[in-house]
Copies of this chain bind each other. A is one copy, B any other.
Amino acid sequence: MNSNVTLKQIAEELGLSTMTVSRAINNRSNVVESTRQRVLEAANRMGYTPNYVAKSLVSSKTFTIGLVIPEITHSFFPDVIRGIEDVTYLSDYQLILTHASEQADREKKAIKTLQAKRVDGILISLVQSIENYNLYKDFIKRSNIPLVFFDRCVEGIGASCVSTNDEMSAYQITRHLIGHGYTKIAHLGGPKKVAISKKRFAGFKRALKKDGIALNGEWMVEAGFHEKEGYRAMTELLKLPAASRPEAVVAVNDPAAFGAMEAIYESGLRIPEDMAIVGFSDDIRAKLMACPLTTVRQPAYSLGKKAAEKLFRCINETDEPVENIELVSELVIRQSCGCE
């Protein structure tokens, strides 16, 4: 017997009604034990597999969560996914994974499809190049599918957000640098439009402000999230006459810091003696650098877990409130900041 055996076929085989077979298989009451056994035996013999598609149609529940990831090779996200999966697994939910490849149109299409597939909820981390949030506002208002943002969020449009406290973490790591006595500190930022870039820059500024250190516009550069952009930006900074060069650098993330480090070495300077540097995200490579990179470790796994848990609460409780949940990142002190 092959796969698409139905309840009806089992019922015919046994001379029962479909309903009795359904009850037997789903362990409902009002089925006498002998009948249940006959049904289970037949189901097994005939190779019955329940059809969740039909079940979903009846129950308007798919036990499926839509997951929208901007870039899966990003090393941060696989950890997040593991956190999400560990939660969904326990509740017997499945995950539909969509990968936006940092393209807004792919993200948009993903949402449309997930909606059509009638997922019970959506977990999404936005691509970088979002120009406006109308799509999301609309979705949150018009659809009745709960949605939770994680990591790359939009706050204030009616959906909960689970993110790391980037502003605070950037503040802390910058304060750590200042604690070493540096006052001439540059900032290699990410794309201006991206929320993460903004928050980290804000934390950086607040840290300087606390000691009344003035911002030097020349040292506040928009680099990007990748090695080569960090490299390019740092190379530019190093062209400044020695007297007006910074003595420490805060990079928007680790890859940017790696690029910058390469540029620093190439110009013949030492880290941290001539130029201290800190990153953000604790890339797996950070501790392997010639001078191990001081950085911020983001709790990827817990972030996924919290986001999934919040989503389940939104699915199961009728009046679950909108929340912005911030997780604490951990400072990972190594040597590039000047420690030891």
Contacts and interface: CB of A to CB of B under 8 A. Distances in A.
Interface of A: 1-4, 47, 49-54, 56-57, 60, 62, 64, 67, 72-73, 75, 77-79, 81-82, 85-86, 89, 92, 94-99, 101, 106, 112-113, 115-118, 142-145, 284-285, 288-289
A51 B288 contact: no
Given A73-B79, A85-B98, 9 more contacts: A49-B116, A50-B116, A52-B113, A52-B116, A53-B117, A72-B82, A72-B85, A89-B99, A288-B288
B2 A142 contact: yes
Given A53-B56, A75-B75, A99 B81 contact: yes
A57 B49 contact: no
Contacts of A78: 72-73, 75, 77-78
Nearest to A2: B144
A96 B95 contact: yes
Given A117-B53, A288-B288, A3 B85 contact: no
Contact of A81 (B97, B145, B284): B97
B99 A96 contact: no
Contact of A96 (B51, B53, B96): B96
B118 A53 contact: yes
Contact of A94 (B75, B82, B113, B288): B113
Contacts of A284: 284-285
A117 B142 contact: no
B72 A81 contact: yes
A53 B49 contact: no
A54 B51 CA distance: 12
A265 to B, nearest CB: 14
Nearest to A77: B78
A77 B3 CA distance: 30
Contacts of A54: 57
Contacts of A4: 60, 144
Contacts of A143: 2-3, 49
Top-3 shortest CB links A-B: A97-B97, A288-B288, A85-B99
A79 B79 CA distance: 14
A226 to B, nearest CB: 14
A180 B92 CA distance: 54
Nearest to A47: B142
A73 to B, nearest CB: 5
Nearest to A60: B4
A97 B96 contact: yes
Contacts of A60: 4
A106 to B, nearest CB: 7
A59 to B, nearest CB: 10
A328 to B, nearest CB: 21
27 contacts: A1-B142, A2-B142, A2-B143, A2-B144, A3-B115, A3-B143, A3-B144, A3-B145, A4-B144, A49-B115, A51-B118, A52-B113, A53-B53, A53-B62, A53-B117, A72-B78, A73-B78, A73-B82, A75-B75, A89-B99, A92-B113, A94-B98, A94-B117, A96-B97, A97-B97, A284-B284, A284-B285
Contacts of A56: 53
Contacts of A62: 53
